[in-house]
Chains A and B, each alone.
Chain A
Amino acid sequence: MKKEQKRYYFDYAATTPVDKRVLKAMKPYFSDNFANPSSIHTPGMDASEAVESSRKIIANYLGATPSEIFFTSSATESNNWALKGIAATAKGDKKKIIISPIEHHCVLNTAKYLKKMGFEIVETPVDKEGIVDVEKLKELVDDKTLLVSIMHSNNEMGTIEPIKEIGKICDDKNVTFHTDAVQSYGKMPLNVNEMNVDLLTASSHKIYGPKGTAILYIRGGTQIEALLHGGGQESDKRSSTLNVPGIVGFRKATEICVKEMKKEWKKQSKLRDKITKYIKEKIPNSHLNGPALGKPRLCNNVNVRFDFIEGESLLMDLDSHGIAVSTSSACSSPKLEASHVLTALGISKGDAHGTIRITIGRFTSEKDVKYFLTTLEKSVTKLRVMSPLNTRNC
């Protein structure tokens, strides 16, 4: 690897850099205000105050009350907790859990685990853009349904789900509703009451905060078992010494996102559409995956596939030019299978092969995009020259 290579980051959906303002806010909580917020001495109280004010700011953004926000260590933990914690309260034959086939692995695999434990897991279908079929879901929700868990937006495709409608169905039928809002949190307004959600997952490192901090919002009155038992932190629902610098970072990251939300959404969706249009116009035999241009989509996501070439080789060729993207092609997966999201959207195995995900963010500039697009065009051409399938010489 060339060390001097300038890096162009187009993988913001994987993680984001910590914003300098966030880092600054966190700094005092490592060596100066380091106390355990559970301690009742003055430094402990100061740390506790930092945690509680953070809880308030996060709650405010979500339209929740602070006591409904529980800090965890990751979105994976929050999603595990939501599903397992609700499952642990199941009574009688109320054992049906409904999810979508495009959930993150931490929901899918937790559901798989619960299936082994005797729960019925039902996948509600999505259309070719990844949107949950609300009518079908309505039919599926019955008095045996314990929980519905549908993501707010999809990490691979950027599809935004009709969460309000789903929330209404669950509310009408008195079923607990969880949404994994990891990709939406901080990008768009989220109100737990408007959406009728009972549980919501969000994570700090996707919004320019530090890794290792996340939340689970739990609506007051929701019956849920603890995942971690111990010293009784977080209302005895999630024991563990609180990660004070992480929580303060998450708070600052949330504040910045809320303040700059409109501006960022506008800026990023403009760049997103620029990327999409350029690829469509300049690179033949390329296709947009997920929502069509002009349809609702996360402001920072483009997911495209190129005929005749494979995603891992495209990723690595771009990497040699300093560009970081991600792929869900079969060759890049540990099981040599295309991603479950591509499959669920009905994209054939062959077509899925040349898929890459491009995600932009706060620090992506017009200039970066320009460099990215010209390099992408070159890389695609270079690999197509090598491909036996490219008989049209695109």
Chain B
Amino acid sequence: MYTEKVMKHFHNPANMGKIANPDGVGKVGNMACGDMMYMYIKVAKNKQGEDIIKDIKFQTFGCVAAIATSSVITELVKGKPLSDALKVNNTDIMQSLSGLPPIKVHCSVLATEALSDAIYDHYKRNKKPISKELKAKHEDIVRHNKMLEEQYKEYLDTQELE
């Protein structure tokens, strides 16, 4: 069902975990099956003065495809300028994984959303201009998350307490 590459990422995911003081966090949920993905980024400037993703880490509650796509997207964008990172789409992810079963394509979309929302969060924190497109994407995500929060209320509640 899954390609060897998918299984490799699943068993040994890259950049898994949390970043202590992130410059941006993206938290997204998957409406189709009810999964969650968190993406943390650290931003720095490169020699050309562009903002780049200096470090990135993810946490995922979901299926094999969700975990593998989270892992692969972090590899694809680490070290890249934010503007380039935003261009990574789920076709790129699918290519790096040599494909996903059709029913699992939505999991790779989740990964791109988590990343774009982490970048959105970074822009917002630093009062940087945000493109219309990115903003629209963010609003979609917020809407979805609200619905999911209902589903995982007890878990998220305890998270706030701690």
Q: Are A387 and B59 in contact (CB under 8 A)?
A: yes
A385 to B60, CA, bound (A): 9
- Contact A387 to B10, CB < 8 A, known contacts A307-B155, A313-B67, A349-B151: no
Does any Cβ of A come within 8 Å of B27's Cβ? yes
Binds A, one of B29-37, B75-83, B126-134: B29-37
Q: Tell me the A331-385 residues at the B interface (CB within 8 Å).
A: 331-332, 334, 336, 348-350, 353, 385
CB distance from A51 to the nearest CB of B (A): 39
Does any Cβ of A come within 8 Å of B159's Cβ? yes
Q: Are B63 and A388 in contact (CB under 8 A)?
A: no
Instruction: Among B2, B7, B38, point to the contact of A388 (Cβ < 8 A).
Output: B38
Q: Which of A312, A320, A329 has the most CB of B within 10 A?
A: A312
Does any Cβ of A come within 8 Å of B24's Cβ? no
Q: Are B27 and A350 in contact (CB under 8 A)?
A: no
Q: Tell me the A288-345 residues at the B interface (CB within 8 Å).
A: 307-310, 312-313, 316-317, 320, 329-332, 334, 336
Instruction: Among A312, A313, A353, A392, point to the contact of B162 (Cβ < 8 A).
Output: A392
Q: Are B67 and A386 in contact (CB under 8 A)?
A: yes
Instruction: Among B36, B63, B156, B159, point to the contact of A331 (Cβ < 8 A).
Output: B63
Does any Cβ of B come within 8 Å of A228's Cβ? no
- Residues of A in contact (CB 8 Å), total 26
Q: Are B33 and A330 in contact (CB under 8 A)?
A: yes
Does any Cβ of A come within 8 Å of B16's Cβ? yes
CB distance from A335 to the nearest CB of B (A): 9
A67 to B155, CA, bound (A): 57
* Chief secondary structure at chain B's binding surface: mixed
Q: Tell me the B17-63 residues at the A interface (CB within 8 Å).
A: 17, 27, 32-38, 59-63
Q: Which of A329, A349, A387, A389 has the most CB of B within 10 A?
A: A389
A386 to B159, CA, bound (A): 15
Does any Cβ of B come within 8 Å of A31's Cβ? no
A312 to B64, CA, bound (A): 7
Instruction: Among B7, B16, B27, B156, point to the contact of A386 (Cβ < 8 A).
Output: B16
Does any Cβ of B come within 8 Å of A42's Cβ? no
Does any Cβ of B come within 8 Å of A235's Cβ? no
The 4 tightest CB contacts between A and B, nearest first, are A331-B63, A388-B59, A388-B38, A330-B33
22 A-B pairs with C-beta separation under 8 A = A308-B61, A310-B35, A310-B62, A313-B10, A316-B2, A320-B7, A329-B63, A330-B33, A331-B33, A336-B32, A336-B33, A348-B151, A353-B34, A385-B17, A387-B59, A387-B60, A387-B61, A388-B36, A388-B37, A389-B61, A389-B155, A392-B162
Residues of A bordering B, CB below 8 Å: 307-310, 312-313, 316-317, 320, 329-332, 334, 336, 348-350, 353, 385-389, 391-392
Having A310-B63, A312-B63, one finds 19 other A-B pairs with CB under 8 Å, namely A307-B155, A310-B61, A310-B66, A312-B64, A313-B66, A329-B63, A330-B33, A331-B62, A331-B66, A336-B32, A348-B151, A350-B34, A350-B152, A386-B61, A388-B36, A388-B38, A388-B59, A389-B152, A391-B155
